[in-house]
Structure 1
């Protein structure tokens, strides 16, 4: 797992399971205890932060159960900023076949909104807020972020790019994210795509 010195915590991302939580999610989260032990992180320092949508809530409950954490306790936190990307009325709740059209637009201009939907840059802004909140509330913890495909690949994009920022003015998380909030970086978020139910360490 990469070490990002500008952050106070270690992060994993987990894309939600299907409508009914499935065995793939349960199987993959079984790797987490081994990762925690390898990084000398006790269970009491583990936190699950998740999107309020039903699929992510179900998946977060599975993770909490596997780790024997009380889902209603302080170690599990719902965060509105981790919600699914709003693609706009023309694309919302339609077939996944429409997604390539949106991603093609993202590559051309990640700051462009699709008919009232969120641009990549819009999602970056709220994910930056989510990261700032987690970094302020926790220190030396392992944080599992349970969210959706687009937000999680965008989150990985900005954190990996932020880690490469050097020089004055890039000492803190928000300044690093602001520095990399440019089309050449944000347009590449599909490189960090996750499968349904996929678990991945990012930091």
Structure 2
């Protein structure tokens, strides 16, 4: 597969904001939680994460979202619920925004992310440790945007997702070689960026 994702056929009719979930219980424990079996119903926001989301809302400087779409993991669901309530919109779940799957590393120490990222820099299609490839993550994240583009126009869409998928999406949107998705500074918990 190519190291970049071609977006030529995607014409944007909406504006997009990307938001990483607030600090989570998985972050607090230093664990990798990427499996829906664990992440959808547990490992939500920590107390610190709740505070971070509140601080982001209090200092909001981006366009007002008219639509909030989020991963179905608990940490993103809780983040999106706070944002959606603040702006008076109904949040929508989309499994396409889920955390990157880390398979064999599931439940282990988050220091192991570095092992995966080292291989990412060599091959965006690798699946070492059973991980979901960068290519696959990019395709599913862009597919979410394509679906939104087909269904909506003139909206400000906030996508609430996870660190790695958002890094990969930003690289894809910028037309950057996906092997270099870690070159950009990572989004911090509860951080928002505007794209398009």
- Give 2:78's match in structure 1, choosing from 54, 58, 70: 58
Q: CA deviation at 1:200?
A: 1.3
Does 2:144 align with 1:154?
A: no
- Which residue does 2:27 correspond to in 1? none
- Work out which of the residue numbers 46, 51, 71 in structure 1 matches 2:66: 46
- Counterpart check, 1:11 vs 2:4: no
Residue 188 in structure 1 maps to residue 180 in structure 2: yes
Any idea what SS the aligned residue of 2:157 has? strand
Q: Give the corresponding residue for 1:142.
A: 156
Asked whether 1:83 is paired with 2:111, we answer no
TM-score normalised over the length of structure 1: 0.74
Q: How far, CA to CA, are the matches of 1:152 and 1:135 in structure 2? A: 18
Write the deviation string for residues 103-143 of structure 1: whole angstroms up to 9, x where unpaired. 00100111111232201011112112111111111111101
For the residue of structure 2 that corresponds to 1:12, the secondary structure is: strand
3-state secondary structure, aligned to 2:100: coil
Cα pair 1:88 1:114 within 8 Å, conserved: no
Stretches of structure 1 lacking an aligned partner (at least 5 in a row): 37-42, 162-179
TM-score (norm 2): 0.77
Q: Report how many aligned residue pairs link the two structures.
A: 164
CA distance in 2, matches of 1:29, 1:113: 37
Give the CA RMSD over aligned residues.
2.0
Q: Is the 8 A contact 2:20 2:189 kept in 1?
A: yes
SS of 1:109's partner is: coil
Seen in structure 2, the aligned counterparts of structure 1 residues 189 and 197 have a Cα distance that, compared at 3 Å, is same
Shift of 1:23: 1.5
Structure 2 portions without partners, runs of 5+: 1-9, 25-44
For the pair shown, the structure with the greater C-alpha radius of gyration is 1
Which whole-Å CA distance do the structure 2 matches of 1:146 and 1:119 have between them? 20
